[in-house]
């Protein structure tokens, strides 16, 4: 059975825009027969890496820190598919997701080999070379807000000898909740996220047309600017939290 390990790395956890895309995606994987485990980094204690390479020399394969990574390492080693879900924060991944990524270092060996003419660290024996999927949403309207994350995730996968299997990207992600509140149709997006999950488990890959639906325009740019700025102005006037 395909083992999927997923992380929702938004501090907003169940109430996040991230969850709106991640959850149907995971549902689709379950429907296709995968065993799915989901963690919220917001409920985990994952300290930042302290960079001393204890896990490479003093205690090979084991980080000296005593936190929730101890429970996660065996799961990370055995996963066929890793799903990292994050909002775009300052053109990158969220802080909790970066901590999690940095703490994957014990899964690799210190030795450096040349793979396709490039320096790489081989993974330790017993760690599966699984697939990696990125699920992300951002506040701004344009798709190119995901470019830095895509470059980062692809590079990290190459480094670890894992296959980057693609990304579910939701620009103007805050618009999802707005449109849900207005009762506007979004079923095609949620269904496409689910279908991408089914495809990945069933066919080993996700169809570009399906992923395109997940990212489809919710509203034209001029309307997005008006709506977002008016929501912020109202919240500012009322000194309330903004629901986006
Ligand atoms: C600290 C911070 C930094 C952000 N940086 C960006 C950014 O660089 N580009 C962008 O499009 N959105 C940015 N956003 C907006 C979030 O990506 C957006 O609100 C998203 O929908 C939040 O997703 P979530 O509900 O899953 O946490 C930022 C939000 C925060 C709180």
Residue 244 is predicted with a pLDDT of: 81
Rounded to 10°, the helix 221-238/174-181 angle is: 80
d(CA 105, CA 69): 11
pLDDT tens-digit series, residues 42-80: 999 999 999 999 999 999 999 999 999 999 999 999 999
**How high is the mean pLDDT of the chain?**
96
Structure-token pair, residue 228: 């977002």
- For ligand 1, atom 3, the nearest C-alpha belongs to 89
With the most atoms of ligand 1 within 8 angstroms of its CB, the residue from 139, 150, 170, 224 to mutate is 139
Q: Residue 41: name the closest of 17, 88, 6, 75 by CA.
A: 6
d(CA 9, CA 6): 9
Max intra-chain CA distance, the chain: 58
Compute the distance from residue 87 Cα to the ligand 1 centre, in Å: 6
> What share of the chain in percent tops pLDDT 90?
97
Architecture of domain 3-217: 3-Layer(aba) Sandwich (3.40)
pLDDT tens-digit series, residues 139-192: 999 999 999 999 999 999 999 999 999 999 999 999 999 999 999 999 999 999
Residue 144 is predicted with a pLDDT of: 98
Measured in degrees and rounded to the nearest 5, phi and psi for residue 85 equal -115, 125
End-to-end CA distance of the chain: 37
Cβ of 91 below 6 Å from ligand 1:
yes
DSSP E strand stretches across the chain: 3-8, 35-40, 81-87, 113-115, 118-120, 131-137, 163-170
Rg of the chain over all Cα atoms, to the nearest angstrom: 19
List the chain domain ranges.
Answer: 3-217
Q: Residue 107: name the closest of 159, 41, 48 by CA.
A: 159
Burial class (CB in 10 A: 0-12, 13-18, 19+), 65: middle
Q: Residue 98: name the closest of 169, 160, 48 by CA.
A: 48
| Contact indicator for 173, 189 with CB cutoff of 8 Å | no
Compute the distance from residue 51 Cα to the ligand 1 centre, in Å: 28
Cβ of 175 below 6 Å from ligand 1:
no
What pTM was estimated for this model as a whole?
0.97
Compute the distance from residue 15 Cα to the ligand 1 centre, in Å: 14
- For ligand 1, atom 17, the nearest C-alpha belongs to 138
Compute the distance from residue 94 Cα to the ligand 1 centre, in Å: 9
Measured in degrees and rounded to the nearest 5, phi and psi for residue 173 equal -65, -30
Structure-token pair, residue 80: 């066929």
């Amino acid at each position: 059975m395909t083992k999927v390990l997923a992380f929702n790395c938004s501090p907003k956890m169940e109430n996040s825009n991230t969850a709106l895309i991640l959850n149907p995606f995971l549902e689709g994987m379950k429907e296709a027969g995968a065993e799915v485990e989901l963690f919220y980094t917001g409920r985990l204690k994952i300290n930042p890496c302290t960079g001393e390479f204890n896990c490479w020399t003093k205690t090979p394969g084991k980080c000296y820190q005593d936190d929730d990574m101890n429970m996660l390492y065996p799961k990370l080693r055995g996963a066929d598919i890793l799903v990292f879900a994050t909002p775009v924060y300052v053109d990158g991944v969220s802080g909790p997701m970066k901590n999690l990524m940095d703490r994957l270092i014990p899964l690799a060996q210190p030795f450096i080999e040349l793979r396709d003419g490039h320096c790489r660290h081989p993974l330790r024996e017993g760690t599966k070379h699984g697939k990696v999927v990125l699920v992300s949403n951002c506040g701004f309207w344009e798709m190119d807000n995901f470019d830095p994350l895509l470059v980062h995730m692809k590079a990290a996968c190459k480094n670890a000898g894992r296959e980057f299997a693609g990304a579910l990207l939701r620009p103007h992600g805050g618009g999802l909740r707005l449109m849900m509140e207005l009762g506007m149709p979004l079923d095609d997006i949620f269904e496409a996220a689910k279908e991408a999950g089914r495809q990945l488990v069933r066919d080993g890959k996700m169809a570009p047309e399906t992923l395109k639906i997940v990212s489809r325009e919710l509203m034209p740019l001029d309307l997005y600017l008006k709506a977002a700025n008016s929501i912020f102005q109202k919240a500012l006037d009322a000194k309330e939290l903004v629901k986006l």
